[in-house]
Amino acid sequence: MDLPGLSSAGQSSVTNNTVDLRPETEWRFEVGLDSIVTLKVLQGNAEIFGTELAVGPTYSFTATKLSMFTWRGCRFEWSGDPLAEYISEESVMSSYANLHFALEKLRMQAAEKDAHYKKEVMKEVDIGQFGSAEEGDGPRVLIIGSRSSGKTTLAKILTAYAVKMGRSPMVVSLDPKEGMLSLPGTISAASFSTMMDVEEEESWGSSATTGPMHVPPKNPTVYYFGSDSPTDNIRFYKSLVSRLSIAISSRLEMDHRARVSGCIIDAAGIIDQKVGYDLIDSIVSDLAVDVIVTIGNERLYNDLLKRYQPRKQITVVKVQRSGGVVEHDATYLRSIQRRMIKEYFYGPPKTALSAFTITADISAFTVYKRSEQSHLVSSSALPIGSDETTALLSLVTKVEVSPALQNAILAVLYASAKDTEDDIAEASVMGFVNILDIDETKKKVKVLMPIQARLPSQVLLMGSYHYLE
Ligand SMILES: Nc1ncnc2c1ncn2[C@@H]1O[C@H](COP(=O)(O)OP(=O)(O)OP(=O)(O)O)[C@@H](O)[C@H]1O
């Protein structure tokens, strides 16, 4: 009898939604916002963006665009009403796996150099053969490509494969519209040592704020940018990336396993030559990137090769764009963001939580927003001899608590009203609240919070996101 997918002749086959998938092929499917598709692996091995599926359990998917890939062939069954589904024989997974193995080699070299790692983590390994260097940083990989080129997908695949090898890579999401382990509008970093939740395409799993889950929660460091695109306020964005890189460095200093595993950085898809290349430059230097991976864009690859190859420590490589990558239009993006916000307060459908409302005096709220970009002129852009005070304007500005804040999502910062504006602009995020109602006559504000707690005395930072249930 042939193994599923390993039949000697022909292509993958489908009978009544039972599919025999041949080795190194993938089943791509899209599920609408209001429908569900379930799938069950019956035999063989299968993975979704690097994370292996178990044989037997039923997985269910909604509002998602995914691909299930198999290395050695599998048989599975699915049901539901997908918007699209097809088998592709043209997978790019082997080139992504090759990239993973090249990174793994760098991690092994880093482990050899890390004295602590040798002593504590690799006790059982014969360390006599290793060099004598005290330090070892794993590869810091920046993934760059145009919008919808598959950057996040590649970041997930590399992360899942690294975790499978026992690594704990620091995953850094610099795309505010996606909000990894947090809400839209954020940039964040978290060390991954456990598997991701394959049923949640847009999320990377759960964080400590999203309540009990079947996949262990991660503990991200989060900064609030407040809108979808870094170009909305480049100076504020760059300042947050710098802060995040400092936070990452101090986390890596304490966590040798993560340090040896390196970083996987998912950039926002801004690659136009002026702003995009300048942004790439500052990310490369802030996060000490030493491997740049470009996806499916020859010009970008060649430009970056010329720019970084002379610096011997930076390697630029290119990988193909998968034909399965689907572009997200603005409406789809909004609905995904809406779902992320809803799940933050009420939990995912599987583990529905109850959100809490509290009412507090207006005077208890200290709200800031980021300053307008036009006010934040860089001193280098000012004519020589001109007044440089504008260049020193704070990155954040205080906001009156007024009905304009109705339905706003506000980030609760690790900063108090007594802190300076500079401290506030550099503060990371503790969680989020949603303003439900502002009664100006009674001077009261009603807020939605994900957990039962008093209104935090921290500063709240406003962005461009609003939510109304
Ligand atoms: N092989 C594939 N088959 C089916 N869908 C895929 C495949 N690869 C990626 N996708 C889907 O395509 C969409 C876009 O991919 P992804 O988010 O990785 O691109 P991106 O470059 O990060 O996008 P953006 O620039 O918007 O951040 C996602 O919904 C992802 O799940």
Residues lining ligand 1, judged by CB closer than 6 Å? Answer: 26, 28, 65-67, 145, 147-153, 175, 201, 269, 322, 324-326, 328
Instruction: Determine the 3-state secondary structure of 209 from DSSP.
Output: helix
**DSSP code at position 373:** G
- Confidence band (pLDDT; 50, 70, 90) for 292? very high
Residue 389 counted as an annotated binding residue:
no
Task: Give the separation between CA 331 and CA 334, rounded to whole angstroms.
Answer: 5
Q: Is 153 annotated as a binding residue?
A: yes
Residue 362 has pLDDT above 50, yes or no: yes
pLDDT band at 294 (very low <50, low <70, confident <90, very high): very high
Residue 377 phi, psi (nearest 5):
-75, 135
Q: What is the pLDDT of residue 125?
A: 39
Establish whether 73 is an annotated binding residue: no
Task: List the chain domain ranges.
Answer: 13-88, 93-319, 354-466
- Atom index in ligand 1 nearest the CA of residue 323 equals 1
pLDDT bracket for residue 21 (50, 70, 90)? very high
Q: Which of 131-140, 380-389, 456-465 has the highest mean pLDDT?
A: 456-465
Mean pLDDT across the chain: 84
Predicted pLDDT of residue 4? 47
How many CB atoms neighbour CB 234 within 10 A?
A: 18
If one counts every other C-beta atom within 10 angstroms of the C-beta of residue 125, the result is 12
Of 213-217, 290-294, 396-400, 444-448, the least confident: 213-217
Spacing, Cα 257 to ligand 1 middle (Å)? 29
Of 428, 464, 416, nearest in space to 188 by CA: 428
Domain 93-319 has CATH 3.40.50.300: yes
Residues 343, 434 contacting (CB under 8 angstroms) = no
pTM of the model: 0.88
Sheet with 263-266: strands ordered across:
221-224, 186-191, 170-173, 263-266, 140-144, 291-295, 315-319
Q: How far is the CA of 302 from the centre of ligand 1 (A)?
A: 23
Q: Is the pLDDT of residue 304 over 50?
A: yes
79-127: per-residue pLDDT in tens?
999 999 999 999 999 999 999 999 999 999 888 876 665 555 544 433 3
* 8 A C-beta contact, residue 162 and residue 169: yes
**Who has greater pLDDT, 172 or 196?**
172
| Ligand 1 closest atom vs CA 295 | 21
pLDDT digit string, tens, across residues 45-80: 999 999 999 999 999 998 889 999 999 999 999 999
Name the residue with higher pLDDT: 212 or 195: 195
276's tokens: 């995009």
Say if residue 26 carries a ligand binding annotation: yes
Q: Is 18 within any annotated ligand binding site? A: no
Q: What is the C-alpha to C-alpha distance for residues 109 and 163, in angstroms, rounded to an integer?
A: 17
Q: Classify strands 291-295 and 315-319 as parallel, antiparallel or unpaired.
A: parallel
Local confidence band at 232 (pLDDT 50, 70, 90 cut-offs): very high
Over the range 208-222, which residues count as b (16 or more CB within 10 Å of their CB) and which as e?
A: ebbbebebebbebbb
Percent of the chain surpassing pLDDT 90? 58
Angle between helices 298-308 and 273-286 (to 10 degrees): 50
User: pLDDT category, 195, cuts 50, 70, 90?
Assistant: confident
Neighbours of 364 (CB within 10 A): 15
285 Cα: distance to centroid of ligand 1 (angstroms): 27
State the pLDDT confidence band at 202, using cuts at 50, 70 and 90.
low
Residue closest by Cα to atom 13 of ligand 1: 326
Is 149 annotated to bind a ligand? Reply is yes
Cβ neighbours of 32 (radius 10 Å)? 17
Question: 215 by DSSP, 3-state: which?
Answer: coil
Whether the CB-CB separation of 351 and 205 falls below 8 Å is answered with no
**Cα(267)–Cα(310) distance, rounded to whole angstroms?**
22
Q: Quickly tell me which residue has 């690294």 as its tokens.
A: 162
Centre of ligand 1 to C-alpha 289, Å, is: 23
Check residue 262 and give left, alpha or beta (phi > 0: left; psi -120 to 50: alpha): left
269 is in an annotated binding site: no
Q: What is the CA radius of gyration of the chain?
A: 24
CA of 151 to the centre of ligand 1 (A): 7
Distance from the alpha carbon of residue 157 to the mean position of ligand 1, in angstroms: 12
- CA 340 to each of CA 157, 182, 262, 328, 467: distance values in angstroms, whole numbers, following the listed order: 22, 8, 28, 15, 11
Question: Does 2 have pLDDT greater than 60?
Answer: no
Ligand 1 atom 23 nearest Cα: 148
- Predicted confidence band at 22 (pLDDT cuts at 50, 70, 90)? very high
| Distance between CA atoms of residues 338 and 465, nearest Å | 9
Q: How confident is the model at residue 313 (pLDDT cuts 50, 70, 90)?
A: confident
Whose alpha carbon is nearest atom 10 of ligand 1?
A: 325
pLDDT band at 193 (very low <50, low <70, confident <90, very high): confident
Q: 411 pLDDT exceeds 90?
A: yes
CA of 266 to the centre of ligand 1 (A): 12
pLDDT at 217 over 90: no
Give the model's pLDDT for residue 11: 64
CA-to-CA distance for 416 and 464, rounded, in angstroms?
Answer: 22
Mapped onto helix, strand or coil, the DSSP state of residue 38 is strand
- Residue 281: DSSP 8-state: H
Q: Which residue among 64, 96, 148 is best mutated to probe the pocket of ligand 1, counting the most ligand atoms within 8 A of its Cβ?
A: 148
Pick 354-466's CATH classification: 2.40.50.100, 2.60.40.1930, 2.40.30.330, 3.40.1190.20.
Answer: 2.40.30.330
**Across 2-11, 147-156, 224-233, 416-425, least confident range:** 2-11
Rounded-to-integer distance, Cα 323 and Cα 93, Å: 11
- The atom number, within ligand 1, closest to the CA of 29 reads 4
- Residues 241-262 have pLDDT tens digits of 999 999 999 999 888 889 999 9
pLDDT number for residue 80: 92
Atom of ligand 1 nearest to the CA of 175: 27
The predicted pLDDT at position 6 comes to: 46
Rounded Cα distance between 372 and 344, Å, is: 28
pLDDT at 116: 60
Average confidence (pLDDT) over 186-214: 69
Most confident of 12-26, 111-125, 415-429: 415-429
> How far is ligand 1, taken at its centre, from the CA of residue 92, in Å?
13
* Location of structure tokens 């080139």: 95
Question: How far does the centroid of ligand 1 lie from the alpha carbon of residue 300, in Å?
Answer: 19
| pLDDT surpasses 50 at 458 | yes
- State which fold the 13-88 domain adopts: Jelly Rolls (2.60.120)
Residue of 149 and 384 predicted with greater confidence: 149
Residue located nearest, by CA, to atom 5 of ligand 1: 66
CA distances from 64 to 36, 37, 67, 327, 469 (A): 10, 10, 10, 12, 21
List phi, psi (to 5°) of 261. Answer: -75, -25
Closest residue (by CA) to atom 17 of ligand 1? Answer: 152
- The answer to whether 48 and 66 have CB atoms below 8 angstroms apart is yes
**Which atom of ligand 1 is the closest one to the Cα of 156?**
18
Tens digits of residue pLDDT in 374-399: 555 554 555 554 444 445 578 999 99
- What pLDDT shows up at residue 310? 79
Given CA atoms 144, 147, 151, 152 in this order, what sign does their dihedral have? positive
